[in-house]
Chain A
């Protein structure tokens, strides 16, 4: 039986006394795409940072590829490099991650730290820039990139190491639909779909496209786990965890009557099984005082 990519046992983590993860247990199998769902503050980002050995738990245990992932292991240079080579992390805010002065330097940073030979780094940077459609941005400074370009460069700066596991924190946050679509396509194609992806998001529109397993988190705990169909089909669960909301709006097919109900859809993607058409939003007309 294959060793899981990650296993967490009763993990606790606190930020200055405030509990972020409270006795969390979870197994992330190798080769699966896992989406962490949860409202803001549910502990998704903290969990990802624990999986990337940037934070270490106050209690409980994290295992990576069957071995304990703790400060002592990461203090060893060889073990640390081996882990960094296998696990890549794309931060939510690309400005945090793009700290070099040019796109070329950004991609070269990881391989340089892992002591790759210079010629191999140059070759790999060029190949990655080409394959990610970023070659024209080679010498561009990160502050001159658009939001979508920054995300792609951040992703490329991690994918250049060809990790076995990719951790992503809200990869589609604040992206326009086209950039979001490009990013999702890249993730789906990456590694022929055989690599492990752990992605934190509260964007339900992308879940069916990218996930094999959905994990729902609330207040630092895993409260549900299942296939995308099982989780997205449980409206009560999604409503309870703040992943969907009820709002008033008007459907073009319902004769123009405004009504209130939960929605899984927040953009132009459709997640309803069998749905073929895209959702088209029409704003509600402003209410006149006499209607009140």
Chain B
């Protein structure tokens, strides 16, 4: 049994086990996302810039459409895209859909009763009237959030983070921002590993349970040590950068190349967007 599963199934999870479990879960999540991004799926074949642009265009379409058919059609298309890109729907369901439904559902629920319109149902005892217009508003709110989050999540899951960050340069994001984000992505794992090592070292020497004050003291002490380590790391990294010619200017190399498949994808995207807007203009959606 792996340490992760041991921690998950332990009935008496102590404070340290909880911290270690959270850190391991974060590392495992990142590792799974990287594996998905490297999977031989359809979305993974496209240039990261195309993926990023497609995501933004489709989210724009989702936000601007006034058609429930178009909206939920796009959601179905996103689910289909996840399937052919080897992104398990369970990951989308647990990681995105459930959270979005809970959050936007809570926001949309009052609208069902508060928006005036044709009554379709009365809640027994309370007598609240559920209106058609209210249901439509709620469906739009939930559908937009769900579809936009699915497109965003899918793009992130199917694209290695470094590529996604570099693709931001295409949108005019300054090189300094891209470099900072890349370095953050690089070192967050080192600090996570350091935190994990510290908690495990502590657990290996701990006998008995910690009091609340001891837990707080330990957390603060660990945070202090991590901060100190990250400052030292920053100094050393800066020296390593200087050593290879860094003089304060940021440069980034885009190694992406557009293939015929990418141009085709962009053309299809353009066609879908035009048709969707045309349908909307004709009031067919």
Contacts and interface: CB of A to CB of B under 8 A. Distances in A.
A125 B165 CA distance: 20
B263 interface: no
A112 B243 CA distance: 13
B78 to A, nearest CB: 25
A176 to B, nearest CB: 19
Interface string B242-259: 111111010111010000
Contacts, number: 93
A77 B247 CA distance: 8
Interface string A130-151: 0000000001011110000000
A157 B244 contact: yes
Contacts of B161: 101, 141
A99 B240 contact: yes
B103 interface: no
Interface residues of A, number: 39
Interface stretch (A90-98, A193-201, A264-272): A90-98
A158 B237 contact: no
A113 B245 contact: yes
Interface in B213-240: 233, 236-237, 239-240
Contacts of A121: 253
A110 interface: yes
Interface stretch (B4-12, B106-114, B182-190, B196-204): B182-190
A93 B236 contact: yes
A88 B190 CA distance: 25
B285 interface: no
A266 B42 CA distance: 52
B241 interface: yes
A249 interface: no
Q: DSSP class of B's interface residues: helix, strand, loop or mixed?
A: helix
B162 interface: yes
Contacts of B160: 102, 139, 141
A128 B190 CA distance: 26
Contacts of A108: 253, 255
B247 A80 contact: yes
A49 B239 CA distance: 9
A49 to B, nearest CB: 7
Interface in A151-167: 157-158, 161
A112 B249 CA distance: 10
A97 B95 CA distance: 34
B243 A54 contact: yes
Given A96-B237, A139-B160, A141-B162, A112 B186 contact: no
Interface in A61-103: 77, 80-81, 84-85, 88-89, 91, 93, 95-102
A99 B243 contact: no
A105 B251 contact: no
Contact of B237 (A49, A54, A81, A99): A99
18 contacts: A54-B239, A81-B245, A89-B243, A96-B239, A99-B187, A99-B241, A101-B182, A102-B160, A112-B252, A112-B253, A113-B244, A113-B251, A141-B34, A141-B160, A141-B186, A143-B186, A143-B189, A143-B193
Interface of A: 49, 52, 54, 77, 80-81, 84-85, 88-89, 91, 93, 95-102, 104-105, 108-110, 112-114, 118, 121-122, 139, 141-144, 157-158, 161
3 closest Cβ contacts across the A-B interface? A113-B245, A101-B162, A143-B189
Interface of B: 34, 38, 160-162, 165, 182-183, 185-187, 189-190, 193, 233, 236-237, 239-247, 249, 251-253, 255
Given A99-B183, A110-B244, 7 more contacts: A95-B190, A100-B162, A101-B161, A101-B185, A105-B162, A113-B251, A141-B185
